[in-house]
Structure 1
Protein backbone atom coordinates (compact mmCIF):
# COMPACT_ATOMS: atom_id res chain seq x y z
CA UNK A 1 0.00 0.00 0.00
CA UNK A 2 1.32 3.47 -0.80
CA UNK A 3 2.02 6.08 1.85
CA UNK A 4 -0.23 9.16 1.87
CA UNK A 5 1.44 12.34 0.65
CA UNK A 6 1.94 15.16 3.15
CA UNK A 7 1.71 17.72 0.34
CA UNK A 8 -1.35 19.97 0.30
CA UNK A 9 -1.99 19.46 -3.43
CA UNK A 10 -5.19 21.57 -3.48
CA UNK A 11 -3.36 24.59 -2.02
CA UNK A 12 -0.42 24.08 -4.39
CA UNK A 13 -2.70 23.84 -7.44
CA UNK A 14 -4.17 27.27 -6.60
CA UNK A 15 -0.76 28.99 -6.50
CA UNK A 16 0.60 30.99 -9.42
CA UNK A 17 3.99 29.79 -10.66
CA UNK A 18 5.63 32.98 -9.36
CA UNK A 19 4.37 32.19 -5.83
CA UNK A 20 6.03 28.76 -5.63
CA UNK A 21 9.35 28.77 -3.77
CA UNK A 22 11.89 27.02 -5.99
CA UNK A 23 15.02 28.37 -4.31
CA UNK A 24 16.10 24.85 -3.34
CA UNK A 25 15.85 23.63 -6.96
CA UNK A 26 18.78 24.45 -9.24
CA UNK A 27 17.79 26.11 -12.51
CA UNK A 28 18.40 24.00 -15.60
CA UNK A 29 20.76 25.92 -17.84
CA UNK A 30 21.77 25.53 -21.49
CA UNK A 31 24.64 23.23 -20.52
CA UNK A 32 22.20 20.81 -18.89
CA UNK A 33 20.08 20.58 -22.04
CA UNK A 34 23.15 20.33 -24.28
CA UNK A 35 24.37 17.29 -22.31
CA UNK A 36 20.93 15.73 -21.81
CA UNK A 37 20.21 12.43 -23.51
CA UNK A 38 16.78 11.15 -24.47
CA UNK A 39 16.41 7.53 -23.40
CA UNK A 40 13.32 5.82 -24.73
CA UNK A 41 12.63 2.34 -23.36
CA UNK A 42 12.66 -0.42 -25.95
CA UNK A 43 9.14 -1.62 -26.68
CA UNK A 44 8.32 -5.22 -27.50
CA UNK A 45 5.20 -6.27 -29.35
CA UNK A 46 3.18 -8.88 -27.45
CA UNK A 47 -0.20 -10.52 -27.64
CA UNK A 48 -2.20 -10.17 -24.43
CA UNK A 49 -5.69 -11.34 -23.64
CA UNK A 50 -7.77 -8.72 -21.82
CA UNK A 51 -11.38 -8.78 -20.76
CA UNK A 52 -13.46 -7.10 -23.47
CA UNK A 53 -14.86 -4.47 -21.10
CA UNK A 54 -11.38 -3.56 -19.84
CA UNK A 55 -10.06 -3.09 -23.37
CA UNK A 56 -13.17 -1.14 -24.38
CA UNK A 57 -12.74 1.18 -21.39
CA UNK A 58 -9.09 1.91 -22.20
CA UNK A 59 -9.87 2.47 -25.90
CA UNK A 60 -12.71 4.77 -24.83
CA UNK A 61 -10.12 7.05 -23.19
CA UNK A 62 -8.84 7.96 -26.67
CA UNK A 63 -5.61 7.57 -28.58
CA UNK A 64 -2.67 6.23 -26.62
CA UNK A 65 -4.58 3.55 -24.76
CA UNK A 66 -1.71 1.05 -25.14
CA UNK A 67 0.69 3.58 -23.60
CA UNK A 68 -1.69 4.10 -20.69
CA UNK A 69 -1.96 0.33 -20.13
CA UNK A 70 1.85 0.14 -20.16
CA UNK A 71 2.12 3.03 -17.67
CA UNK A 72 -0.36 1.35 -15.34
CA UNK A 73 1.52 -1.95 -15.53
CA UNK A 74 4.82 -0.13 -14.89
CA UNK A 75 3.39 1.56 -11.78
CA UNK A 76 2.18 -1.80 -10.51
CA UNK A 77 5.58 -3.38 -11.22
CA UNK A 78 7.42 -0.59 -9.41
CA UNK A 79 5.07 -0.77 -6.43
CA UNK A 80 5.68 -4.52 -6.18
CA UNK A 81 9.45 -4.05 -6.50
CA UNK A 82 9.39 -1.40 -3.79
CA UNK A 83 7.29 -3.59 -1.51
CA UNK A 84 9.55 -6.61 -2.08
CA UNK A 85 12.72 -4.60 -1.38
CA UNK A 86 11.37 -3.61 2.06
CA UNK A 87 10.96 -7.23 3.09
Structure 2
Protein backbone atom coordinates (compact mmCIF):
# COMPACT_ATOMS: atom_id res chain seq x y z
CA UNK A 1 0.00 0.00 0.00
CA UNK A 2 1.44 3.37 -0.95
CA UNK A 3 1.50 6.24 1.44
CA UNK A 4 -0.11 9.44 0.21
CA UNK A 5 0.88 12.64 1.92
CA UNK A 6 -2.13 14.38 3.42
CA UNK A 7 -0.14 17.56 3.85
CA UNK A 8 -1.22 20.34 1.52
CA UNK A 9 1.51 21.98 -0.46
CA UNK A 10 1.44 25.66 -1.29
CA UNK A 11 2.82 26.60 -4.67
CA UNK A 12 3.97 30.19 -4.91
CA UNK A 13 3.26 31.98 -8.21
CA UNK A 14 6.10 32.69 -10.55
CA UNK A 15 7.16 36.30 -11.10
CA UNK A 16 5.16 36.41 -14.37
CA UNK A 17 2.05 34.93 -12.68
CA UNK A 18 2.40 37.37 -9.79
CA UNK A 19 2.64 40.28 -12.23
CA UNK A 20 -0.52 39.09 -14.06
CA UNK A 21 -2.41 38.67 -10.76
CA UNK A 22 -1.38 42.14 -9.58
CA UNK A 23 -2.39 43.73 -12.92
CA UNK A 24 -5.80 42.01 -12.80
CA UNK A 25 -6.36 43.17 -9.19
CA UNK A 26 -5.43 46.77 -10.02
CA UNK A 27 -7.83 46.81 -12.97
CA UNK A 28 -10.77 45.95 -10.67
CA UNK A 29 -12.17 49.31 -9.50
CA UNK A 30 -13.88 47.68 -6.51
CA UNK A 31 -10.67 46.10 -5.22
CA UNK A 32 -8.02 48.80 -5.30
CA UNK A 33 -4.97 48.38 -3.08
CA UNK A 34 -4.96 50.25 0.19
CA UNK A 35 -3.11 53.53 0.28
CA UNK A 36 -0.31 54.09 2.81
CA UNK A 37 -2.65 56.46 4.68
CA UNK A 38 -5.31 53.73 4.93
CA UNK A 39 -2.75 51.17 6.08
CA UNK A 40 -1.46 53.52 8.80
CA UNK A 41 -5.02 54.13 10.02
CA UNK A 42 -5.62 50.41 10.62
CA UNK A 43 -5.63 49.13 14.19
CA UNK A 44 -5.67 45.55 15.43
CA UNK A 45 -9.20 44.25 16.12
CA UNK A 46 -7.98 43.41 19.63
CA UNK A 47 -7.72 47.13 20.35
CA UNK A 48 -11.39 47.66 19.47
CA UNK A 49 -12.83 44.91 21.64
CA UNK A 50 -14.38 45.30 25.04
CA UNK A 51 -15.47 48.28 27.04
CA UNK A 52 -13.72 51.59 26.36
CA UNK A 53 -11.08 52.51 28.92
CA UNK A 54 -12.39 54.91 31.55
CA UNK A 55 -10.71 58.24 32.17
CA UNK A 56 -11.58 57.86 35.86
CA UNK A 57 -9.77 54.69 36.81
CA UNK A 58 -11.13 53.01 39.90
CA UNK A 59 -9.38 50.69 42.29
CA UNK A 60 -10.60 47.20 42.98
CA UNK A 61 -10.82 46.68 46.72
CA UNK A 62 -12.50 44.26 49.05
CA UNK A 63 -14.68 46.04 51.63
CA UNK A 64 -17.23 44.81 54.13
CA UNK A 65 -20.41 46.87 54.59
CA UNK A 66 -23.36 46.39 56.90
CA UNK A 67 -26.07 44.22 55.34
CA UNK A 68 -28.65 47.01 55.66
CA UNK A 69 -26.37 49.45 53.77
CA UNK A 70 -25.88 47.01 50.89
CA UNK A 71 -29.58 46.07 50.89
CA UNK A 72 -30.58 49.74 50.67
CA UNK A 73 -28.31 50.53 47.73
CA UNK A 74 -29.25 47.30 45.93
CA UNK A 75 -32.92 48.18 46.36
CA UNK A 76 -32.33 51.36 44.33
CA UNK A 77 -31.82 49.21 41.23
CA UNK A 78 -29.16 48.86 38.59
CA UNK A 79 -26.15 51.09 39.10
CA UNK A 80 -26.30 50.82 42.87
CA UNK A 81 -22.51 50.50 43.18
CA UNK A 82 -22.00 53.74 41.24
CA UNK A 83 -24.53 55.49 43.49
CA UNK A 84 -22.73 54.16 46.54
CA UNK A 85 -19.46 55.51 45.12
CA UNK A 86 -21.17 58.89 44.59
CA UNK A 87 -22.29 59.07 48.19
CA UNK A 88 -18.77 58.27 49.40
CA UNK A 89 -17.29 60.90 47.04
CA UNK A 90 -19.69 63.53 48.42
CA UNK A 91 -18.66 62.59 51.94
CA UNK A 92 -14.96 62.96 51.07
CA UNK A 93 -15.51 66.30 49.29
CA UNK A 94 -17.50 67.67 52.24
CA UNK A 95 -14.86 66.62 54.74
CA UNK A 96 -11.94 67.90 52.68
CA UNK A 97 -13.53 71.37 52.58
CA UNK A 98 -14.04 71.45 56.33
CA UNK A 99 -10.37 70.74 57.18
Length-normalised TM-score, structure 2: 0.44
Rg: which structure is higher? 2
Length-normalised TM-score, structure 1: 0.50
